[in-house]
Amino acid sequence: MERQAVGQELAPLLIELVDLALTAKQAHWNVSGMWFRQLHTQLDVLADDLRLWSDDVAERLTTIGVAADARVETVAARTPFASFPSGSIDSTKVASLIVERLEKVVENNQTRIAKLGVVDLVTQELVIGITGGLQKQEWMFAAEQPGRPA
């Protein structure tokens, strides 16, 4: 296993998952509108999943001897996501913003999966499992958007 190559794939994933978990809670607290109840509940499930996946990624990093870094300043400096809107936000907008973020991580993970297949199959399997969960969440949030096929 090439520890540094694996770390270069997992470190950004950790940042993305932590950012998404924080975003899911922000959206959970501030969602309003027609689909409030189902999105409020669904965002909590998403945040829980993201916290578990980020913990798995951080522990894998530590296991292979690479320090996990998801400090607030690190996440803020390295996240690929634009700032989530502040204040109350309509449920239709929340669903689309969450889907965009989930799509981005899934897309990034497709590249990570290919690279990890060459250097560490155990880590590749971890990222494949997380990607499956992200895709399921993406599908569920996409179903909340008017005019968008699930």
pLDDT surpasses 90 at 147: no
What is each CA distance from 95 to 35, 52, 98, 116, 129, in whole angstroms? 9, 21, 5, 31, 23
- AA letter at 6: V
pLDDT digits 0-9 by tens, 44-88: 999 999 999 999 999 999 999 999 999 999 999 999 999 999 999
**Could you tell me the two tokens for 131?**
């990607």
Query: What pLDDT is stored for residue 148 in this prediction?
Result: 58
Helix pair angle (121-142, 91-119), 10° resolution: 160
What fold is seen in the domain 3-142?
Ferritin (1.20.1260)
Residue 134 · residue 102 · CB < 8 Å: yes
End-to-end Cα separation, the chain, in angstroms: 38
Kindly report, residue by residue over 98-107, the tens digit of the pLDDT: 999 999 999 9
Residue 144 pLDDT > 90, yes or no? Answer: no
Q: What is the mean pLDDT of residues 6-19?
A: 98
Domain spans of the chain?
3-142
